[in-house]
Amino acid sequence: MSAMSGLRILLLAAAAAASLSAQNFALHEGDRVVFYGDSITDQRLYTTFTETYVVTRFPRMDVAFTHSGWGGDRVNGGGGGPIDVRLWRDVLPYRPTVMTIMLGMNDGHYRAYDQAIFDEFATGYKHIVDTVKRQFPGIRITAIQPSPYDDVTRAPNFEGGYNAVLVRYGDFLKQLAQEDGLGLADLNTGVVAALGKAKEIDAAAAAKLIPDRVHPGPAGHLLMAEALLKSWHAPSLVSDVELDAARKTAVRQRGASVSEVTAAGKGLAWTEIDDALPMPVDLHDAAISLAVRSSDVMEALNQEPLKVRGLAAGKYALKIDGESVGDFTSEQLAEGVNLATLATPMMRQAMQVHALTLRHNNLHFARWRQVQVPMEKDAEPHLLQALASLDSLEGDVIKEQRTAAQPVAHRFEVVAE
């Protein structure tokens, strides 16, 4: 078999693996996702983490995202109007093929379980599902079991605690999902477990993951995004590359294409282009680092292993595009290094994508909450034009986001020190 034929086979195998991951994932080409909920969704954090994961892991997949959370909302609506106003204005116009619903935190009224209050929640939640399904019969709805009220790092306010009430609401959603064919994402159990582990590591810092016991900070939202993405069967793998230094060849390249493998003194050099980018996780942020140490988020979502075997014993610098990203022994390189834990050019590129995710969502928020809703009863002659212009501007940023997510080739070196 010629070298060129072998390369074609490897590339086809990598493409087939990427295609299989895309097929198993809950989102598909052309999907339109609407995130619906209360103030926790209104924070636009677990939702933007989720969006950036999709854009970086599937950079050639065209999926649209709209974030429609409103602080204070319950199943019957809230500050943004009654529930039917919310649905017809903030969800249905976007013609969603996928919708997530996270409600419950406000619906339990922050008190011990009350059957009448729960019945109102159950009836209202079913109304939301029925309304949306009636308009879009093929829609895929993910019911989100509500994120926790923090009764872990601080003592409960009453016997049993408020989070136990939210868990009961989540149990209802699990049953409803089975009955109505909904997807289900548990944003409570994993976060509670992580809070417990974080408390063991650093009790004071753990209390900052959900500072007011209701609204998580970015680190808590990262854990929530993990739970949602897991429910969508998100692949953990970014890329998986193994090279044999003695043979100067790539023996495995899943989700990546390796070429131009050459000796570099006692080390090795090669060109690599991955099919995806890592999910941006800022391990220099103390709270994010604590959340990562207290959970399996990197194992579940951010596996980017690089192995180089056959090196002479010693210490080596791993360089990408001439920049050192870490020092490792030959044994560590043979065992494998997760590049997603390092400050690589790929991680910086992913961070840029996330910045654009935030920018387009901030534009949508301004258009929706500062122009459309406050002025919807006005007769301003240029209102529709202004809204259309803001939509176009957001569209420009989304195009920039998708362009920024496209992987590029990098030159890798493993250089003896």
Topology, domain 26-231: Rossmann fold (3.40.50)
User: What is the pLDDT confidence band of residue 199, given thresholds at 50, 70 and 90?
Assistant: very high
Residue of 92, 100, 181 whose CA lies nearest to 136: 92
C-alpha dist (Å) from residue 176 to 76, 97, 173: 18, 19, 5
Q: How far apart are CA 87 and CA 91, in angstroms?
A: 5
379: phi > 0 → left, psi -120 to 50 → alpha, else beta; which? Answer: alpha
Whether 220 and 210 have beta carbons less than 8 Å apart is answered as yes
Beta strands in 198-348 (DSSP E): 240-244, 249-254, 256-264, 267-274, 305-309, 315-320, 323-329, 337-338
Give per-residue pLDDT as tens, 9-51: 444 544 444 454 577 999 999 999 999 999 999 999 999 999 9
The mean per-residue pLDDT over the stretch 208-237 comes to 98
Give per-residue pLDDT as tens, 312-344: 999 999 999 999 999 999 999 999 999 999 999
Q: Say yes or no to pLDDT of 225 above 50.
A: yes
The mean pLDDT value of the chain amounts to 95
Q: Say yes or no to pLDDT of 213 above 70.
A: yes
DSSP codes joined into one string, 112-169:
S--HHHHHHHHHHHHHHHHHHHHH-TT-EEEEEEPPPP--SSS--SSTT-HHHHHHHH
The pLDDT of residue 21 is: 59
The pLDDT of residue 23 is: 78
The mean per-residue pLDDT over the stretch 109-130 comes to 98
Q: Say yes or no to pLDDT of 167 above 80.
A: yes
138: phi > 0 → left, psi -120 to 50 → alpha, else beta; which? Answer: alpha
Residue of 39, 22, 67, 32 whose CA lies nearest to 237: 22
**Helix or strand holding residue 170 (H, E):** helix 162-180
Q: What residue spans define the domains of the chain?
A: 26-231, 239-275+304-417
The mean per-residue pLDDT over the stretch 97-120 comes to 98
The pLDDT of residue 10 is: 45
The pLDDT of residue 97 is: 98
User: What is the pLDDT confidence band of residue 379, given thresholds at 50, 70 and 90?
Assistant: confident
DSSP 303: B
Q: How far apart are CA 258 and CA 252, in angstroms?
A: 9
Q: What percent of the chain has pLDDT over 70?
A: 95
Structure tokens at 228: 């949602």
The mean per-residue pLDDT over the stretch 280-298 comes to 97
Count Cβ neighbours within 10 Å for each residue of 135-165 and write b for 16 or more, e otherwise: ebeebbbbbbbbbbbbbbbeeeeeeebbbbb
Compute how many other C-beta atoms are within 10 angstroms of the C-beta atom of residue 125: 21
User: What is the pLDDT confidence band of residue 361, given thresholds at 50, 70 and 90?
Assistant: very high
The mean per-residue pLDDT over the stretch 105-134 comes to 98
DSSP 282: -
